Structure formats: structure tokens, C-alpha cells
Structure 1
Amino acid sequence: MSIEFLLTTIIVVISPGAGVLYTLAAALSRGARASVVAAFGCTLGIVPHIAAAVTGLAALLHTSAIAFQVLKYLGVAYLLYMAWMTLKEHGALKIEAGAAPRSATQVVVSGILINILNPKLSIFFFAFLPQFVHPDQPGALAEMLELSAVFMLVTFVGFVAYGLCAAAVRSHILSRPRVLTWMRRTFAGAFAALGAKLAVDR
């Protein structure tokens, strides 16, 4: 594993996206434990994309407009659903001190869906991983699997760091109703913007 791969991975992971947003929202709504569970779910959500890249199935999404569009609009619909639920103060993103706890399974499934319904991730890994693998040498598959494992580890650690930082200021936010209102609107708008961005991607 090269230092270039590690640095590139860190930059990609810390760039704000739907997974980071979901982890932050989980931290603010449910606390540190929920943020770790959300980060785990988001990390699991990239496993199918990595598997698709490693096996070459991502090429199908790259060449088949129908396959890409179907998966893309499922992702758009889910992001818009998250935006609506956030705005209406329901579900996983209800930021309230006395909110009833959600099961770890529910938080994980939501995190998985956010990433698994983003077809750009398959194409990203299909283009990203081979740049750091020597295909003409034996063990190329094992090397790609190793890089994939490192990427997942960095993703989990990075998302957990985001979540723990947000959980640290949770009490200050919960004590300010106006801040809560703007937080909900901001998260809802961010999810909607991510959905709109995904909708116009080709």
C-alpha cells in the first residue's frame, strides 16, 4: 500500500457526503453510540460497490444506461425521503433529548441504504482501485482486496471521528430550540441537495 493511496483515501473519506451527513445527524439525534452504529452501516454500504469493482460488475453500470438510471433514481428517492423525514422531525433524525431509541439494526440499515443506492460509488471504485494495483504481477486480486479493506477501515474511523465530534456538542444544541430548528432545516436541505446532485449525474 502506497502513501499516495492512503492520502487519497483520507481525502475522499473526509469529503462531506451523504454518509458523513447521516453519521452527524445520528450523533446529534441519538448520541455517540448511534454515530458509531451509523458509521458502521455506512461502511457496510460500500461493500457491494467494492465487490462490484473487484469482480468487474461495475463496468455494467458504466456501460448500461438503464442499470445506472434505475439505481440512481432509487438513491435519489431515498435521499429525498431522508430530507422529508428530517424536515418533519420523524425517524432516525429526530433531534430531541427524550426521543425513543431506535434499534441498532434500523440505524445500520439506513446507513447501508444511503451508500448502496449510490451507483457512482461502484464506478468510483472501478476507476480508483486499479490505479494502485499492478495487474501484471501475481497477487493483483489480493492486493485489491487489501486496498479495499484499508479504504473501509479509513471510512469507518473517519465517520466515527465526525460523529464523536458532533456528539460532543449535542447537549449544547439540544438546549437551544432555535438551533434545533435550523439544524433540521440544514440537514433536510443537505439531503435534498445531495439527491438533486445525484439526479443530474450521468
Structure 2
Amino acid sequence: MRIARWALTALGAMAAVTALANEMEGSGRRAFPPDSASWEFSVTAIPTIVRGGENFVSGIAVADRGSLHLEARANYESVGARSAFVGWTFSGGDEIKWELTPLLGTAWGTTKGFVPGLEASAAWRRLDFYVEAEYVNNRNDQSSSYFYAWSELGFRPFEWLRVGLAAQRTRVYGGARDIQRGPFAQVTWRRMTIGGFWFNPGSKDQVLVTSIGVAF
């Protein structure tokens, strides 16, 4: 019930600011589209509440210039891990817009190793799909190496509101389920985006992932 109350609170807080939202952000990880010739940045805090487990906060910082994509993360591959990535974005499409960003990265701290990855998104009218995946090769413990994936299928009933379904495969926190699924909602106001992802609703393995991001 605690997770349910947190989820309702988070969704209620998002609804309270929707009247101020007037700009639409993309569904991908980039700070801005790859046609920007100047440096653009974004930072995102990701508080995570784990039912029956340890709550924690992850962080992501992104820097983009044209197709160049730089990314740093904290508590993402594992709690206590740090990671950094460099990538190059390919994009195109008219009716269906798409972006593809291969990544090369490294992790240190509680997880150490080479981390290749990929971020991709596609959008058609009010529908979009986003996926990020990486192979975490943990030099600290090879048996703990794993394939991580996060995906979102989103719909925008309004420019400032994005709702849909998300799924992830991760080992950052415990739980009996290898793949978690659930609904999400995001609202955007100017250059700020607030989101809530509710995985495994109604189960003993519920996880609430919230996100607060700013692009500048």
C-alpha cells in the first residue's frame, strides 16, 4: 500500500502542474535534437522506491553538440556505481521520425567494466517508442554481468502530457521478477519534465521510479 500511496501522490503532483506545461520534449535521452550546433545540457534526478528493499536516487547528466552525445550516470548500473558514455546520434524520417545513438562507456565503483550500449527512439504523430539497452560487464564479479534494457511506448493526448507503458530488465535492486512492467506518465513545463513509472502494480515486488529533469 505504501507504493500505491507514493504512486498516487506522484501522479497527483504531476497533474497539479499540467496547466503550466506548454512545450513538448522528445522521448529520448538527448538534451535537444541533433541539429543543434551549440552545446546543450540536461540533468535528471531519479528517486526510486523499492517495496521491501532499499530506496535510492540515480542521476543522469547529458551534454550534446550536434550529433555528439556525452552522458554521465550515478547509481545506474548498480547502487554505488558511476559510469560515463560517449555516443553519436543518427536521425532521420519525415512521417516517422527516428533517432539512433550507439554508446561506448565505462563503469567504476561497485560495478567496474566496459559498457557498450544503444539508445533509440521513433515517433509517429502522437505515438512514440523509446528503448535503451546496454551490456554491463562487471569486472568485480563476472557472474554479475548482465544485459540491461528499458523501453517505453508512449502516447501524447496533449503536447505537455505523455502516458504509456514501460518495461525494464535490471539488477540494480532485488526482486523475484526478471522483467518489470507498468504504466507511466510524464508532464512537461518549459524545459522541465516530471515523470512517474509504476512497475509491477499490485504485486509484492512493486517499484516506483520518479524522474525530475531539466534541459538548458
Q: Note whether the superposition's TM-score is higher than 0.5.
A: no
Pick the structure with greater CA Rg: 1
Structure that is richer in strand per residue: 2
- TM-score by structure 2 length? 0.29
Kindly indicate whether structure 1 or structure 2 has the higher relative contact order, using CA contacts under 8 Å at least 6 residues apart: 1
